[in-house]
């Protein structure tokens, strides 16, 4: 689809906004619908859009698979480590009350951190999965459809 | 009677949808179609769950400060998890389909069965040698 | 030491989250050797944890652990009693044995670039199985069941390096497993709808008064069918033979010895820990649906096993039959029956673990696990084949092996119940097992190897774990006091009978 | 009004489901499946499940459609024609299963019942707890990330597992796999 | 030494022997020496225990408690002592014979042969000294499994087939019937310990006692009660030493020994007598007894004929037990000893003939007696003992068995014993008669056996180690005739 100028320009404009929206969903999940998972999917969608328009090879240069392969496990680890940290502080596993001096703050910190971990993993895994599919074949041409 | 229908119609339609999905899974021989069927099946189950949490006249479970009637948030939480599980399964299933296509040059169940019985004969022939 | 004692109250959660967080670490390690060493270390840690938990449970009774500090039923709690403590031990124990065994086998069977991922999937599977077993929350069961299932599909599909049929086997497993999981979720949803809770203990209080509720009946049906798919209850077993045949040797050994067992346990937990049907429609279902299916499965799968040429498939069919034994045991609904079921769950894991590990050795050296491949191996790989024969004898139920103890209790429970025909069928099926085991024995010991084939005995790194399981087969066959007492405590706990 | 929206959306879902059953073109089926998810999302909004709707739209209509399209480019577009006749066995199975479920609905609380048992047991504590202890507005997030946070950890692990699986299956170049598919395990001499 | 220790040693010693046989497998002489030394030591231990038992002691040892209430326990009582003496004593003789036979025949895989043999003996000891039915069952199964490789020794298609039947029937009956019976007993009586007078009195409805007894009797496949006797002829594909010691002594006697144990210590003779639960068994045993004798007459293959003879003789003992009288039980127990001596002699002679001439069919053996006088002499003595003629041991057991029948007033059973003895004459004596009196079919006998050489006088005996043992056991038949009293004294406590 590289020759569709309109598409390229529009998406170039859109992609930053999609990612921004993803970040909003990520960190505003406490207040409105959304959270790590939805945010992760949105950001991944932005990356996938980029890959579709500009080609997987170029996408891989921007979003390096090696980096994604680090981010995916790190997201899970962030979540799990919050649990361990609470445990080390004296609470039960994942007991956010122990993350800060006061329970409510602790809960907020906990929720935001784990949601971040979820978002990281989802973004990375979704992108990786897409790249794996895409890496399996030649570039997708219009004629394919 | 009407009351019964009004009380349950949502469940019934959702159940029919679920069964349509399940039918595709069981009856269709195309591997991609099966995955699509699974998706329809699971999505309908999500609807069933959410339906049971609905409260007439309720709102989305987001605290706004006013004393409102909320729909049951627990099914929402569960289904969020289930959706994630669903996409994970779909991704893995489709990856398998891609590999199957590469290995067998087909994604139709009957043709794969044929190829596998050929594999079996080849195995035996090799041992006879 | 102080950190250790501080960790003690957290053992229940550590049992699961240590393997769980190890999976991403393993993923990051990349190099196969490191990934192996790490996953083995974690498996042994998990094993040690489960042994400590079992001891604690047997000494002090049920352990509760509230995750996130939220009391049940609002939060998710872990509940450990004798029934799941023994399952934890078997899962982590088999995990430890299989992962110690793995490197040479994985080296031979799995392409270099996939080995690290394979170990990661194994750790996820281990964490999932442990999580399913230990949890006291119905929906949490589903989540961890899916970790298990997805990683099992991966473990099976990893066999594609050797045989493309691994792919279709994994695909079928995935479709049937997903349908099963979805059925389970429907069942749990229906239960939630009428009770408002997901906590198993809470459900146990709220469901029995509703035993005449039709929604509960349907929930029961869906949970049984869903778990039936996962545990390969005849006739829902069709995914199993291919999955076990084409998965890599280590994957087969691990899955065969653990995953269906855990599903059996979950079914057990739901049947007795939630529904507790002593009368009515559900009790009738157990008597007239579950029991006959178990019996038919036991016989049909045994007969099918006799006609198999590929030994992994042979053992897979034998597994279906053995699952029939377990379901039989708890379909009686008596303490004796449940004791027999739990006992067999443990014992069967030991047998199948040993047998599949022995086959892994054959796969490594001969590259062919068919009747043809094992010809004359009795002399060429004496230790491997001796392990296989010992496992086979256990499968038949020869005295001084765990199989005998299982059969003793299964038949005893059937007789106690006055179900003569079932006792007769159990014995008939174990006699048929003689046929398929002996086909292998004859091929290995009484036939000449194919002309020109020379193979050496398997390496020690594989023989030792195999023989550890074989010796466990004998040890718990000679001294069954521990297993029997745990199984009995478990059975009484599940039935809510005071000791 | 709610009822009307509800029924219209359900009807659309029904039509899409039949169309999926009917079509032989996998591309069409994929698109229909996306549409199905999108319509479901709309229905979920009507059922007050905004979080779920959001996710279903992003996942069902977005990611999974993209993955399916990706699969189709790697495989093929059309289903084999012979597979379209109605098969009795599966039909029977589906009818029995459906009938069983409908039988189960008889004793269910009515749709929208504000006094359903599910609303009376754990939910009130969640509402109060979210307001007082956790103090965030989105109750779903509170339950998801805190009360049932462990489920969410599991869920993240599920996604991670899928990633591991896909990488294992598709992570390498195709030629490597084809080469590998034909070999027997190296016999160690 | 501590009797419990000695008791455990009877089991351990052959197992240790097995280990050493395996280790010395490459050096034949050393290996055979190990076998002989082990056999000798075992006999010494058993006979030292015999002194204790005669003095009234009942040494016991618990090895391990498998499941609460189900220990692996050993305890000596007279019947078991008798069986152990026979098995361990004849193992020495048979080991000598094995060496001659296996070498004479250039058999392959001799190490495996001796190892399995030693394990089989260990399990026979376990059966003899088992303190409860559970332990007995376990060793019973081990005996089956350890003899399987011996039956399949030749590894030909025929051997595989025979071994399959052997294993199938023995495992099948034991798991299919015997195990059920044992579990049933356990559930009913709450124990499986052998106790004088039985453990079932008042625990099982007398109406189902015959059924339980049937499960036991058919479950003890080694007793070769029809219709589960097919394994015994099938097992004849094994090398002759195996047939001699195991399928004339250890294995089959383990079967009838178990029958006696069950009758005496599980059911109790009195209980059976009172309830008449064993009446049906009299019929089945009598039928087997006569039918097997008749079949034996039709067999031309010597080992097959001996096998059917064994089936018939085993039924003597089962019949004795079924009579449920003290004489019957005593006679049965005594018959274990006398028949063992007689039959092992016959088998060893058959093997000696095979080693020397490679002949297996009786019709081909015309005139052999003159060339193999020692072998045929021993055969004659063994045959006469089995027929039950004085001054040979066989007469005593038949006497007691007949007494038992008289005691119950069942004259038909007496008649069965008598007819059967006549049939014994009809199928055993022709073998000897053809050997001595028929002219040889082949004029110039060519030696096939290793050590055999047509020396002056036309002697063509098998190697010394093949001929000496049957002569020894034949002599034993004579000796036992005079010392039967000692055996009866040993067994006396059984029926008091």
DSSP-derived secondary structure for E344-391: HHHHHHHHHHHHHH---BGGG-TTHHHH-HHHHHHHHHHHHHHHT-TT
Query: Band of the pLDDT at B128, cuts 50, 70, 90?
Result: low
CA dihedral D79, D80, D84, D87 (to 10 degrees): -110
Determine, for residues A136 and B98 on separate chains, whether the beta-carbon distance falls below 8 Å. Answer: yes
pLDDT at D174 over 90: no
pLDDT at C2: 57
Highest mean pLDDT among E54-68, E103-117, E182-196: E182-196
pLDDT at C16 over 70: yes
pLDDT at C179: 95
Residue C273 CA to residue C271 CA, distance in Å, equals 6
Top pLDDT among A55 and E445 is at A55
End-to-end CA distance of chain D: 77
Q: Considering the domain boundaries, does residue E224 fall inside one?
A: yes
pLDDT at D187 over 80: no
pLDDT at D83 over 70: no
pLDDT at E458: 58
Determine, for residues A114 and D167 on separate chains, whether the beta-carbon distance falls below 8 Å. Answer: no
Share of chain B above pLDDT 90, in %: 43
Mean pLDDT of C299-309: 92
CA dihedral E220, E222, E223, E228 (to 10 degrees): 80
Q: Which of A126-135, B20-29, C241-250, E64-73 has the lowest mean pLDDT?
A: E64-73
Number of neighbours of residue B63 by Cβ within 10 angstroms: 17
pLDDT at D178: 52
Gap from C216 CA to chain E (nearest CA, Å): 37
Top pLDDT among A139 and E461 is at E461
Average pLDDT over chain C reads 90
pLDDT tens profile A29-75: 777 777 888 899 999 988 888 888 888 888 888 888 889 999 999 99
| Alpha helices per DSSP H over C376-480 | 377-380, 382-396, 402-416, 420-445, 460-478
Determine, for residues C408 and E65 on separate chains, whether the beta-carbon distance falls below 8 Å. Answer: no
pLDDT tens profile B42-64: 999 999 989 888 888 888 888 87
3-state secondary structure of D112: strand
Q: What are the Cα distances from residue E367, in Å, to E371, E381, E433?
A: 8, 18, 9
Query: Band of the pLDDT at D84, cuts 50, 70, 90?
Result: low
For chain A, the C-alpha Rg in angstroms (whole number) is 18
Query: Band of the pLDDT at B39, cuts 50, 70, 90?
Result: very high
Q: In this structure, what token pair is assigned to residue C243?
A: 């999955």
Q: What are the Cα distances from residue C140, in Å, to C75, C220, C269, C317, D165?
A: 11, 18, 14, 30, 22
Q: In this structure, what token pair is assigned to residue A74?
A: 């790190």
- Structural domain span for residue A105: 5-144
Any idea where the domains of chain B sit in the sequence?
Answer: 2-55+66-128
pLDDT at E459: 63
pLDDT at B60: 84
pLDDT at E455: 42
Query: Band of the pLDDT at C458, cuts 50, 70, 90?
Result: confident
Number of neighbours of residue C95 by Cβ within 10 angstroms: 30
| Touch between E and C (at least 3 CB pairs under 8 Å) | yes
Please give the residue of chain C at the shortest CA–CA distance from B111.
Answer: C168
Q: In this structure, what token pair is assigned to residue C175?
A: 């479709």
Is residue C368 within 8 angstroms of chain B, CB to CB? yes
Query: Band of the pLDDT at D82, cuts 50, 70, 90?
Result: low
Residue E70 pairs with which residues in a beta bridge? E67
Q: How many residues does chain D have?
A: 189
Asked if the bond preceding C73 is cis, omega within 30° of 0, the reply is yes
Determine, for residues A115 and D145 on separate chains, whether the beta-carbon distance falls below 8 Å. Answer: yes
Q: How many residues does chain A have?
A: 145
Cα-flanking dihedrals φ and ψ of residue E76, to 5°? Answer: -95, 135
Share of chain A above pLDDT 90, in %: 27
Residue D161 CA to residue D163 CA, distance in Å, equals 5
Q: Who contacts C190 (Cβ-Cβ below 8 Å, separation ≥6)?
A: C215, C216, C218, C219, C222, D104, D108
Query: Band of the pLDDT at D61, cuts 50, 70, 90?
Result: confident
pLDDT tens profile A101-118: 888 888 889 999 999 999
pLDDT at E356 over 60: yes
pLDDT at C55: 92
Written in H, E and C, the secondary structure of chain E is CCHHHHHHHHHHHHHHHHHHHHHCCCCHHHHHHHHHHHHHHHHHHHHHHHHHHHCCCCCEEEEEEEECCEEEEEECCHHHHHHHHHHHHHHHHHHHHHHHHHHHHCCCCHHHHHHHHHHHHHHHHHHHHECEHHHHHHHHHHHHHHHHHHHCCCCCHHHHHHHHHHHHHHHHHHHHHHHHHHHHHHHHHCCCECCCCCCCCCCCCHHHHHHHHHHHHHHCHHHCCCCCCCHHHHHHHCCHHHHHHHHHHHHHHHHHHHHHHHHHHHHCHHHHHHHCCCHHHHHHHHHHHHHHHHHHHHCCEHHHHHHHHHHHHHHHHHHHHHHCCHHHHHHHHHHHHHHHHHHHHHHHHHHHHHHHHCCCEHHHCCCHHHHCHHHHHHHHHHHHHHHCCCCCCHHHHHHHHHHHHHHHCCHHHHHHHHHHHHHHHHHHHHHHHHHHHCCCCCCCCCCCCCCCCCCHHHCCCCCHHHHHHHHHHHHHHHHHHHHHHHHHHHHHHHHC
- b vs e for C126-143, b when ≥16 Cβ sit within 10 Å of the residue's Cβ? bbbbbbbbbbbbbbbbbb
Q: What are the Cα distances from residue C245, in Å, to C115, C248, C317?
A: 19, 8, 10
- Is this prediction's ipTM beyond 0.85? yes
Share of chain E above pLDDT 70, in %: 95
Which of C24, C68, C69 is closest, CB to CB, to A77? Answer: C24
Residue A23 CA to residue B4 CA, distance in Å, equals 46
Q: Who contacts E29 (Cβ-Cβ below 8 Å, separation ≥6)?
A: none
pLDDT at C492 over 50: yes
Element (H, E) at B122: helix B109-128
Q: Which residue has the tokens 């002309």?
A: C451
pLDDT at E248: 76
Mean pLDDT of E245-256: 83
pLDDT tens profile D93-142: 999 999 999 998 888 888 888 888 888 888 888 888 888 888 888 888 88
Query: Band of the pLDDT at D173, cuts 50, 70, 90?
Result: low
pLDDT at C102 over 70: yes
pLDDT at E388: 82
C contacts of D104 (beta carbons < 8 Å)? 190, 214-215, 217-219
Any idea where the domains of chain D sit in the sequence?
Answer: 1-85
Q: How many domains does chain A have?
A: 1
pLDDT at D188: 42
pLDDT at B118: 87
Which of E67, E152, E179 is closest, CB to CB, to C484? Answer: E67
Q: For an interface test with C, which of D148, D156, D173 has the most C Cβ atoms less than 10 Å from its Cβ?
A: D148
pLDDT tens profile E274-329: 887 888 888 888 888 888 888 888 888 888 888 888 888 888 888 888 888 888 88
Cα-flanking dihedrals φ and ψ of residue C199, to 5°? Answer: -75, 130
Instruction: Write the Ramachandran bin of E445: left for phi over 0, alpha for psi from -120 to 50, otherwise beta.
Output: beta
pLDDT at A2 over 60: no
Query: Band of the pLDDT at C148, cuts 50, 70, 90?
Result: very high
Q: Could you please report the per-residue DSSP string of C244-301?
A: HHHS-HHHHHHHHHHHHHHHHHHHHHHIIIII--SSHHHHHHIIIIIHHHHHHHHHHH
pLDDT at E399 over 80: yes
* Angle, vertex CA E90, rays to CA E85 and CA E93, nearest 5: 145
Mean pLDDT of C213-240: 91
pLDDT at A3: 61
Is residue A104 within 8 angstroms of chain B, CB to CB? no
Q: Which of B104-108, C385-389, D16-20, D32-36 has the lowest mean pLDDT?
A: B104-108
pLDDT at E457: 46
B contacts of D94 (beta carbons < 8 Å)? 19, 22-23, 26
pLDDT at E231 over 80: yes
Gap from A129 CA to chain B (nearest CA, Å): 7
Sign of the dihedral through C-alpha C298, C300, C302, C304: negative
- Structural domain span for residue E153: 1-261
Q: In this structure, what token pair is assigned to residue C104?
A: 């040479």
Whether the CB-CB separation of C361 and C466 falls below 8 Å is answered with: yes
User: Residue E74 carries which DSSP code?
Assistant: E
pLDDT at C400: 86
A contacts of D64 (beta carbons < 8 Å)? none
- The residue from E220, E235, E261 where one domain ends is E261
pLDDT at C267 over 50: yes
Q: Which of B86-90, B111-115, C122-126 has the lowest mean pLDDT?
A: B111-115
pLDDT tens profile C42-67: 999 999 999 999 999 998 889 999 99
C contacts of A70 (beta carbons < 8 Å)? 28
Determine, for residues A111 and D134 on separate chains, whether the beta-carbon distance falls below 8 Å. Answer: yes
Q: Who contacts D165 (Cβ-Cβ below 8 Å, separation ≥6)?
A: B91, B92, B95, C121, C150, C151, C153, C154, C157
pLDDT at A140: 47
Which of B11, B37, B43 is closest, CB to CB, to D40? Answer: B43
Whether the CB-CB separation of D41 and D53 falls below 8 Å is answered with: yes
pLDDT at B97: 92
Question: For residue D19, how many C-alpha atoms fall within 13 Å in the half-sphere facing its CB?
Answer: 16
pLDDT at C498: 67
Q: Which of E240, E295, E277 is nearest to E98 (CA)?
A: E240
pLDDT at E351: 83
CATH numeric code, B2-55+66-128: 1.10.287.3510
Cα-flanking dihedrals φ and ψ of residue E60, to 5°? Answer: -140, 155
Mean pLDDT of E116-134: 88
Whether the CB-CB separation of C187 and C282 falls below 8 Å is answered with: no
């Amino acid at each position: 689809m590289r020759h569709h100028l309109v598409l390229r320009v529009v998406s170039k404009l859109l992609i930053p906004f999609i990612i921004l929206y993803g970040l909003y969903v990520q960190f505003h999940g406490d207040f409105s619908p959304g959270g790590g998972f939805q945010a992760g999917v949105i950001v991944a969608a932005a990356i996938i859009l980029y890959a579709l328009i500009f080609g997987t090879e170029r996408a891989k240069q921007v979003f390096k698979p090696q980096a994604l392969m680090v981010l995916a496990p790190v997201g899970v680890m962030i979540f799990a480590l919050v649990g361990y940290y609470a445990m080390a502080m004296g609470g039960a596993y994942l007991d956010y009350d122990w993350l800060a001096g006061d329970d409510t703050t602790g809960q907020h910190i906990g929720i935001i951190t784990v949601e971040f971990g979820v978002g990281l993993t989802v973004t990375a895994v979704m992108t990786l999965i897409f790249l794996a599919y895409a890496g399996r074949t030649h570039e997708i041409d219009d004629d394919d459809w | 009677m009407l009351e019964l229908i009004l009380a349950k119609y949502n469940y019934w339609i959702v159940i029919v949808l679920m069964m349509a999905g399940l039918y595709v899974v069981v009856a269709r021989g195309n591997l991609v179609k099966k995955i699509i069927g699974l998706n329809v099946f699971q999505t309908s189950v999500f609807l069933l769950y959410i339906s049971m949490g609905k409260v007439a006249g309720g709102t989305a479970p987001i605290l706004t400060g006013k004393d409102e009637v909320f729909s049951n948030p627990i099914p929402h939480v569960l289904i969020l998890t289930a959706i994630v599980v669903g996409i994970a399964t779909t991704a893995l299933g489709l990856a398998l389909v891609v590999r199957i296509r590469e290995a067998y040059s087909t994604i139709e169940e009957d043709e794969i069965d044929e190829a596998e019985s050929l594999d079996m004969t080849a195995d035996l022939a090799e041992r006879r040698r | 030491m102080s950190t250790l004692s501080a960790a003690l109250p957290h053992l229940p959660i550590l049992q699961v989250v240590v393997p769980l967080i190890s999976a991403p670490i393993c993923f990051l390690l990349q190099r196969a050797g490191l990934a192996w060493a790490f996953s083995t270390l974690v498996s042994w840690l998990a094993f040690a944890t489960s042994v400590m938990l079992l001891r604690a449970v047997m000494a002090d009774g049920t352990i509760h652990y509230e995750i996130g500090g939220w009391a049940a039923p609002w939060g998710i709690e872990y509940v450990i009693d004798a029934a799941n403590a023994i399952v934890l031990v078997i899962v982590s124990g088999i995990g430890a044995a299989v992962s110690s065994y793995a490197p040479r086998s994985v080296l031979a069977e799995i392409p270099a670039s996939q080995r690290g991922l394979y170990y990661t999937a194994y750790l996820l599977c281990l964490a999932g199985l442990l999580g399913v077993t230990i949890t006291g929350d119905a929906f949490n069961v589903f989540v961890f069941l899916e970790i298990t299932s997805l990683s099992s599909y991966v473990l099976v599909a990893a066999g594609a390096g050797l045989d493309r049929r691994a792919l279709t086997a994994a695909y079928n497993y995935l479709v049937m497993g997903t349908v099963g999981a979805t059925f389970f979720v429907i069942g749990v949803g229906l239960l939630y709808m009428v009770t408002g809770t997901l906590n198993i203990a809470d459900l146990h209080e709220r469901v029995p008064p509703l035993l005449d509720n039709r929604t509960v009946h349907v929930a029961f049906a869906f949970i049984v069918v869903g778990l039936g798919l996962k545990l390969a209850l005849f006739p829902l077993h069709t995914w199993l033979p291919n999955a076990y045949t084409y998965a890599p040797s280590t994957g087969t050994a691990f899955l065969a010895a653990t995953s269906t067992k855990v599903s059996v346990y979950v079914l057990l937990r739901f049947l007795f820990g939630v529904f507790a049907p002593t009368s009515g429609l559900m009790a009738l279902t157990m008597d007239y649906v579950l029991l006959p299916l178990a019996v038919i499965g036991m016989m049909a799968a045994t007969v099918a096993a006799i006609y198999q040429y590929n030994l992994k498939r042979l053992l897979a069919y034998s597994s279906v039959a053995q699952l029939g034994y377990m379901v039989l045991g708890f379909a009686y609904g008596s303490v004796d029956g449940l004791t027999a079921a739990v006992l067999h769950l443990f014992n069967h894991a030991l047998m199948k673990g040993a047998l599949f590990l022995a086959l892994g050795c054959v796969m490594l050296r001969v590259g062919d696990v068919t009747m043809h491949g094992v010809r004359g191996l009795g002399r060429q790989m004496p230790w491997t084949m001796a392990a296989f024969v010992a496992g086979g004898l256990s499968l038949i139920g020869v005295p001084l092996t765990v199989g005998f103890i299982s059969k003793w209790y299964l038949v005893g429970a059937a007789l106690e119940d006055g179900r003569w025909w079932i006792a007769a069928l159990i014995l008939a099926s174990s006699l048929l097992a003689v046929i398929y085991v002996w086909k292998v024995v004859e091929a290995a010991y009484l036939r000449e190897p194919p002309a020109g084939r020379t193979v050496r005995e398997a390496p020690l790194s594989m023989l030792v774990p195999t023989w550890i399981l074989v010796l466990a087969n004998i040890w718990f066959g000679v001294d069954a006091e521990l297993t029997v007492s745990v199984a009995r405590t478990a059975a009484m706990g599940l039935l809510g009978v005071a000791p | 009004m709610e009822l009307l929206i509800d029924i219209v959306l359900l009807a659309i879902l029904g039509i899409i489901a039949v169309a999926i059953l009917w079509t032989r073109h996998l591309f069409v089926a994929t698109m229909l499946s996306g549409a199905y998810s999108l319509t479901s999302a709309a229905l979920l909004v009507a059922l007050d499940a905004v979080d779920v709707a959001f996710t279903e739209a992003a996942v069902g209509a977005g990611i999974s459609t993209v993955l399916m399209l990706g699969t189709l480019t790697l495989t093929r577009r059309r289903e084999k024609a012979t597979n379209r006749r109605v098969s009795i066995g599966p039909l029977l199975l589906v009818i029995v299963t459906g009938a069983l479920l409908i039988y189960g609905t008889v004793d269910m609380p009515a749709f929208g019942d504000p006094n359903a048992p599910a609303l009376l047991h754990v939910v009130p504590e969640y509402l109060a707890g979210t307001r007082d202890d956790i103090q965030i507005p989105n109750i779903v997030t509170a339950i998801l990330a805190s009360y049932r946070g462990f489920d969410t950890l599991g869920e993240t692990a599920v996604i991670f597992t899928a990633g591991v699986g896909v990488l294992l299956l598709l992570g390498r170049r195709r030629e490597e796999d084809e080469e590998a598919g034909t070999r027997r395990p190296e016999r160690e001499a | 030494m501590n009797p419990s220790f000695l008791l455990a040693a009877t089991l351990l010693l052959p197992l240790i022997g097995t280990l050493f046989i395996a280790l010395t497998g490459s050096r034949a002489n050393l290996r055979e020496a190990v076998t002989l030394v082990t056999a000798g030591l075992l006999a010494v231990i058993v006979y030292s225990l015999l002194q204790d038992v005669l003095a009234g002691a009942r040494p016991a040892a618990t090895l391990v408690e498998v499941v609460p209430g189900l220990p692996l326990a050993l305890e000596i009582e007279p019947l078991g002592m008798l069986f152990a003496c026979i098995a361990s004593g004849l193992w020495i003789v048979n080991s000598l014979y094995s060496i001659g036979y296996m070498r004479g025949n250039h058999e392959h895989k001799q190490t495996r042969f001796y190892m399995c043999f030693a394990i089989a003996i260990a399990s026979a000891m376990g059966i003899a000294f088992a303190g409860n039915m559970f332990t007995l069952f376990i060793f019973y199964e081990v005996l089956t499994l350890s003899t399987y490789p011996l039956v399949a020794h030749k590894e030909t298609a025929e051997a595989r087939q025979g071994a399959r039947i052997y294993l199938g029937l023995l495992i099948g009956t034991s798991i299919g019937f015997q195990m059920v019976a044992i579990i049933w007993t356990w559930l009913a009586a709450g124990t499986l310990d052998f106790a004088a007078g039985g453990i079932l009195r008042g625990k099982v409805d007398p109406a189902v006692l015959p059924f339980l007894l049937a499960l036991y009797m058919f479950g003890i496949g080694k007793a070769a009660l029809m219709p589960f006797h097919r394994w015994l002829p099938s097992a004849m594909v094994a090398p002759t030493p195996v047939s001699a010691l195991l399928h004339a002594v250890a294995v089959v006697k383990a079967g009838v020994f178990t029958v006696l144990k069950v009758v005496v210590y599980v059911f109790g003779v009195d209980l059976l007598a009172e309830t008449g639960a064993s009446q049906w068994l009299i019929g089945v045993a009598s039928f087997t007894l006569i039918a097997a004798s008749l079949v034996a007459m039709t067999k031309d293959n010597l080992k097959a004929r001996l096998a059917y003879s064994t089936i018939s003789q085993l039924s003597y003992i089962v019949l004795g037990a079924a009579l449920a009288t003290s004489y019957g039980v005593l006679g049965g127990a005594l018959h274990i000893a006398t028949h063992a001596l007689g039959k092992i002699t016959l088998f060893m002679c058959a093997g000696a003939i095979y080693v020397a001439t490679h002949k297996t069919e009786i019709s081909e053996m015309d005139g052999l007696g003159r060339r193999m006088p020692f072998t045929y002499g021993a055969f004659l003595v063994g045959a006469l003992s089995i027929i039950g003629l004085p001054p040979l041991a066989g007469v005593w057991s038949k006497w007691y068995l007949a007494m038992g029948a008289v005691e119950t007033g069942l004259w038909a059973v007496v008649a069965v014993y008598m007819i059967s003895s006549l049939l014994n004459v009809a199928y055993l004596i022709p073998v000897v008669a053809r050997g001595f009196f028929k002219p040889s079919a082949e004029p110039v006998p060519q030696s096939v056996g290793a050590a055999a050489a047509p020396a002056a006088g036309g002697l063509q005996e098998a190697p010394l180690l093949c001929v000496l043992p049957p002569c020894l056991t034949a002599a034993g038949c004579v000796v036992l005739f005079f010392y039967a009293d000692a055996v009866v004294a040993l067994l006396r406590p059984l029926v008091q």
